[in-house]
Every structure is written in C-alpha cells, then in structure tokens.
Amino acid sequence: MGLLDNESIPRRKMILFFVIDTSGSMVGSKIGSVNDAIENVLPMIGEISDENPDAEINVAALEFSTETRWLYDEPKGAKDFIWQKVEADGLTSLGEACEELNKKLSRSGGFMPTSSGSGYFAPAIILLSDGGPTDNFEGGLKVLQGNSWYKSAIKIAIAIGDDADKDVLKQFTGSSEAVITVHNIDALKKMIRIIAITSSQIGSKSTSATDATKQEQVIDKVNEAAADVAGAETAAAPAPAGTDSYDEWD
Amino acid sequence: MIELKIGESVSLTNGAQAKIIKELGRGGQGIVYLVEVNGQNMALKWYFNNMGDWFYRNLEDNVTKGAPSEAFLWPEYLTTKQKGTYGYIMKLRPQGYHEFGQYLLARAKFKSFEAMVNAAMKICEGFKALHLSGLSYQDLNDGNFFIHPDTGDVLICDNDNVAPEGVSSGILGKARYMAPEVVTGKAMPSKQTDRYSLSVVLFLLFYANHPLEGARVLACPCMTEKYEKQFYGSEPIFIYDKVNDKNRPVRGVHNNVLRRWNAFPAILRETFTQEFSSKCLSDPNKRKLERQWQNVIQQIRDMLVVCPECKDETFVEDANTPKCMCCGKPFNIAGTLQINDRKVLLTPNTKVYVDMDNKPDIQVINVPGDRYPIQLRNITTNNWVVETPSGKIRSVEPNMSMPVKAGLKVNLTGAIKGVII
C-alpha cells in the first residue's frame, strides 16, 4: 500500500441498546409499532454511523417479558442488524432485564470486550414499556446502578400509554425529563425514531465543549422535538388525564 | 418545527421566494433542501428549532458582509422568520467534492500528494481570509470541509456559527477539535482557538490520525465527557511529545501516522511537534499564524517532485542525495529554481507552484533529443521574461517553454523572480 493510501482512522464504538417490554399487554398494535419503528430506524442509524469519523454505532436489543432474551449474542453494526420481530406474551421482568444489562455492560464476558480495537463511547439505552415490573425491579436496578457503563450511559424511556409506571421509568433513567409518554401509535413510532436518532447522533460524537452532559443534551433535544408530536407527553408539559386513544390499541 | 413540503414556497428577506424542490439531506441542526430562487437552483438550510434572535442577526450580518473568499459556501439570502423558525440560502455544492470525514474513513482518497498539499494550502488560505474579515470559526470540525480528491480544492461549509472575533455564537465545537482552553471552559472561541483547530485539521489531513490520541487515550475503555475534558482539555499530550512518551501511537491501531511520520519531511514533524508541545497547547499566543503555516506548506510543496525512476511522487529533503520514498531508488534532480530563499526542485513531470494559490505555474517537461532535454513550460496565462547570463532578453509565452539551464533568470507571474542554479 503506497503512502498515499491510508486505513480508516481508528474509531470508538458506541452501542445503542433497545430494551423492549414484550409483556402480554403489549400485544397487537403496540408491539407491531415497536417492531415497525425499530426496523425502519436501523438503516438511518447505519447512515449516521457510516458518515461519522468519531465512532461506529452498534446495536443490541433485549426483550423482556416473563424471561429476558437478547435478539443476538453480540452487538451488530446498525446496517447488519436484521430486525427479528418480537412478540408479546407474559409478565414484565424488568428487574431481570436490569441484571442482564449489567452482565453485558462489561469488559469481561460482556458486550465491551477489551480486545476490541479502539474502545468505546458511553452507550445509549432506550427503554420501552407500557406497564409496571412484576419482578424484583428494585433489586435488579440496584445491581445495575453499580455499573460504570450504565452510570455514564445516555438513558431515555418511552412510557407507552397511561398504564405505564412512569415512576419506575424515572428511576431507570434518572430523571422525569428523560421519560416521554406516548398516547397513540403514531406518537410511539415517531418518538422511537426521534430518540434513537438523537441518542445516536449525540452519543457517537466527540462532546461539544460545553458544560451540558450528553444526557442533558439528548433530553433537551428529545423534549423539544416531542413538543411537535401530537400524543407525546413530556414531564414539563403533562397531558390532561384520559388522552389515550384506546381504539388504537385494539 | 414543521418540515417543508415539495412545491411549498418560503419567503426571503429580499422579497424573493424560494420554492422547495426536494430534500437533499439532514444534520443535527436542520434540513437542507434543493430550492429554486429566481430561476436558479440553490440550497436552503432550514433549522429544526428556532435558533433565536442573536443567531438570526448574526446570519443577517454574514449575508451582508459576504464570503471572506470564494472557498466559502456562504449564506447568500436569509428567509423571513416563519413557522416558528427560519433558514438561509446558499449555493449548491458542486459535484465531485467529498466531506473531509470520508477521507478519514478511507472512503475518499487523494489522487496525489500534490492534491493533499493543495488542500492543506487552501484550508490555511480560507482561515486567513476569515480572520482578515474580522470573523472567527468557533465550531470547526471534520464536517466543515469538502475536498476534491483530484485537485485538492477545498470548500468550507456550515458557516452558520461564524461570528465576529470576540463574540460568542454559543456553540463551542467538538472537544476533539477545540483548543484545550475552550474544552476546559477557561476561554471562549477566538482566532487563536481557531488556529489550534487548524493544526488539528492539518495533522488529520497529513497523517490520518488524531494528534492527541495514542496509547494513553486508547487505554481508556469508555470515553465519557469527563475523559474528553481531560484528554483534550486539562491534560493533552501530543503522541510524539519530545519529553512525555506516555501517549505514543500504538502499532495495529494508529498505523497511518506510524507509516507516515518519518516518511514525510522533517519540517512537517518539527512544526507539528512544536504546535502540540505543552508550551503551545497551554499558550494560545504561541500558536502559528495561518501565514506561517502556509510557508511550511510551501516548503514541502517545493520539495515534492516526480521520481524519474518510478514516476510516483516523492519528497526530497536532501537535494544532494535524492532518494525516492516510494521505490527507494536514488535519482538526480534536473535542476533547481531559486526564488528568494526558496529552492524549488525540478524533475520531469513535476509541477511548480510559484505562489501560494493552488494554480500550478510551471510544468517541467522532457524534450528528448533536444539540446536541452529538460525544460520549463509556462502553464500560466502571462508571459515570462527571461534574461540569459550574457544579458539577452527572451520572452516565454503561455504554453511555450524555456530550458533548465543554470544561470537563466526568469521574471515569473506576479513579479516573482527566479534563477536557475
């Protein structure tokens, strides 16, 4: 190879985690929209990754109902991630999901092996849920909260419908501003797209030299965008009760 | 923000209308549309969110001031404030240019070192023009430059955050590109912080690795905001720092700089080592001015020749014993053109740049069988005036050539005089 040729500049990896509630109550249009929205956003994330000299973006997806299951054994490049449709059935073992996350957010035996080239940027974790945990959530979360990768991660949650336990999601993400509630299918799809793209864009780049952390930047951008999405509710602008369009859930 | 639809019209502050043709792309700040304005196709950047009044007025000022040089893809018209946001109109980017990031990702490639060096020169020229206009960049990063792989021509884009020196646009740029004093929050962007960013961009351009990312940064498993503030702000260490070897490039990861560091001319190594020494990292006043960078780039351009053996390009640092960095063979320099204290080396097929623009002025050619087998062809549009050792005056018109014969004095374009030694 001549001196004029160069290899790609070494890039860190950023892993985008989708943590998806596939309990029985998600059955029907809710889980259908989640499948649809994620499948559609993956190519866009692939493009963000391709154009980015700072980092490449890999994706990992964990579904949790009565048990937990990773869609793939290891994170995959966004363009290579072939979405397998998840189905809804069972309970809501969010506590176990937290413990699974903790296991994989690690260098030894996890998704961040030391042997991997140039290291990582902090991951982004997007949690989607429509209900409340049916297992020992507090215990699982406590374990996860001791994990450094989790601590530095960008964390955003989408509460699907009014039955979602917003308090639990607030505990998971660290603030009520990081929880966006959606009241219809369209809002759900739009917010999945906005949140996945915003976290990827901000998470995979060198930080702006400001004081705002990446988490704060993502929260700001997502909340601003949510203001334009009919049916999306933020912590700052709570919707009046009973705004769910129940027909749509059928 | 409400996205614009095809066929929709947006009104501009000068009274004209811009009609949306289609979306060209979108970035972090907004969407870029192909629009038609007064029969011409142009680009409209339309912001996602209302960027505020200060930003609008700054754009207005920039539109009025005009571009610092033709290297800038500059806001030409402003839209009125509408639909809770606004945008600006600029020329379309011509075909064939690739984003600087694509070169870093090895997806775009320079055709020659000549093109790479031209790109370096053009970037410096752009910064110089910007600062002369009283403006500073503020948010420099790999997304701002579009470079043509064959000519090395550079277009500087994303000029939204360009603001007058000393005034802050509020955007601080990416830690990887910003001066340490900005990353740590001690200072706001300025001409001097721009110059730091310029050095980083030039280092990336030549060596395709980041000047502060070596073993020490690699050892960090998770690059968080806190570590970025440390590695690019409070404790930056150059990968080839003379004293501190904790951050050296790592074999297998930083292969680009490992291959090129010693192959490229010493003047480049020395300049970068100084620019990224702890003294210059911590003292903005010690950084090189654009003009000084251009002198360094001119020096390496003067020593870039075509190897007569393998026909690839090579830098020649020692004119007494030239050796090709590609084929390794020694060869002879056909002659040297002395311009003031510059010694421009000549071999057949080499192009010579007499001044600092990116238009070559002389083409060295082979004329086999001629009494003077190596000649200089005038590839400018002006006449050269040559004085022979015996005092005769000859004229060399465009496309004509003169011999490489010691003692000939030549008045080149722009009152630059040279003599063949």
Q: Which residue has the tokens 């990768």?
A: A149
Q: Count the domains in chain A.
A: 1
Beta-carbon contacts of residue B216 (< 8 Å; ≥ 6 apart): B231, B237, B246, B247
With CA atoms as reference, the chain B residue closest to A13 would be B222
Contact B127, B194 (CB under 8 A): yes
pLDDT at A236: 78
CA distance B96 to B86: 29
Q: pLDDT at residue A241 above 60? A: no
pLDDT at B51: 83
Contact A21, A30 (CB under 8 A): no
CATH code of the domain covering residue A146: 3.40.50.410
CB proximity A122 to B under 8 Å: yes
pLDDT at A249: 47
Q: pLDDT at residue A48 above 70? A: yes
pLDDT at A246: 44
Q: Which residue has the tokens 């500087």?
A: B156
Residue A77 lies in a domain: yes
pLDDT at A177: 94
- A6 phi and psi, to 5 degrees? -135, 155
Residue A41 lies in a domain: yes
Q: Which of chain B's residues have a Cβ under 8 Å away from the Cβ of A205? A: 174
| Helix or strand holding residue A89 (H, E) | none
Residue A113 lies in a domain: no
- For B22-68, the pLDDT digits (tens) are 998 877 778 999 999 999 999 999 998 788 888 999 999 999 999 99
Residue A4 lies in a domain: no
DSSP conformation letters of A102-115: HHHSSSSSSSS-TT
State the pairing for strand pair B30-37/B9-11: unpaired
CB proximity A29 to B under 8 Å: no
CB proximity A115 to B under 8 Å: no
pLDDT at A248: 47
Q: Which of chain A's residues have a Cβ under 8 Å away from the Cβ of B116? A: 4
First to last CA, chain A: 60
- For B183-233, the pLDDT digits (tens) are 998 998 889 999 999 999 999 999 999 999 999 999 999 999 999 999 999
Domains of chain B, first to last: 9-90 (3.30.200.20), 98-294 (1.10.510.10), 327-420 (2.60.200.20)
Residue A5 lies in a domain: no
CB proximity A201 to B under 8 Å: yes
First to last CA, chain B: 66
CA distance B240 to B248: 6
Residue A6 lies in a domain: no
Q: pLDDT at residue B285 above 90? A: yes
Own/partner long-range contacts of A66-71 (Cβ < 8 Å, ≥24 apart): A66/A23, A66/A90, A66/A91, A66/A93, A67/A93, A67/A96, A68/A93, A68/A96, A68/A97, A68/A100, A70/A100, A70/A104
CA distance A63 to A81: 15
Residue A114 lies in a domain: no
CA distance B348 to B362: 11
**Min distance B410 CA to chain A CA atoms (Å):** 34
Contact B212, B218 (CB under 8 A): no
Interchain CB distance below 8 Å, B222 and A7: no
Q: What is the DSSP secondary structure assignment for residue A208, as one 8-state letter?
A: B
Beta-carbon contacts of residue B381 (< 8 Å; ≥ 6 apart): B398
Interchain CB distance below 8 Å, A3 and B220: no
CA distance A41 to A49: 12
pLDDT at A244: 58
Q: Could you give the angle at which helices A29-50 and A185-203 cross, rounded to 10 degrees?
A: 30
Beta-carbon contacts of residue B312 (< 8 Å; ≥ 6 apart): A2, B306, B324, B326, B327
In this complex, the residue of A9, A214, A225 whose CB is nearest that of residue B104 is A9
- For B54-113, the pLDDT digits (tens) are 899 999 999 999 999 989 999 999 999 988 889 999 999 889 999 999 999 999 999 999
CA distance B375 to B334: 9
pLDDT at B168: 76
CB proximity A214 to B under 8 Å: yes
Q: pLDDT at residue B388 above 90? A: yes
Handedness of CA A57, B109, B113, B122 (dihedral sign): negative
Share of chain B above pLDDT 70, in %: 99
- Domain range spanning residue A214? 12-107+119-249
Q: pLDDT at residue A238 above 80? A: no
CB proximity A107 to B under 8 Å: yes
- For B293-346, the pLDDT digits (tens) are 999 999 999 999 999 999 999 999 999 999 999 899 999 999 999 999 999 999
CA distance B21 to B34: 5
CB proximity A206 to B under 8 Å: yes
Share of chain A above pLDDT 90, in %: 79
- B163 phi and psi, to 5 degrees? -140, 165
CA distance B299 to B304: 9
pLDDT at B158: 83
Residue A240 lies in a domain: yes
A and B: number of Cβ contacts within 8 A: 112
Interchain CB distance below 8 Å, A8 and B106: yes
CA distance B195 to B183: 15
With CA atoms as reference, the chain A residue closest to B140 would be A208
Mean pLDDT, chain B, rounded, equals 92
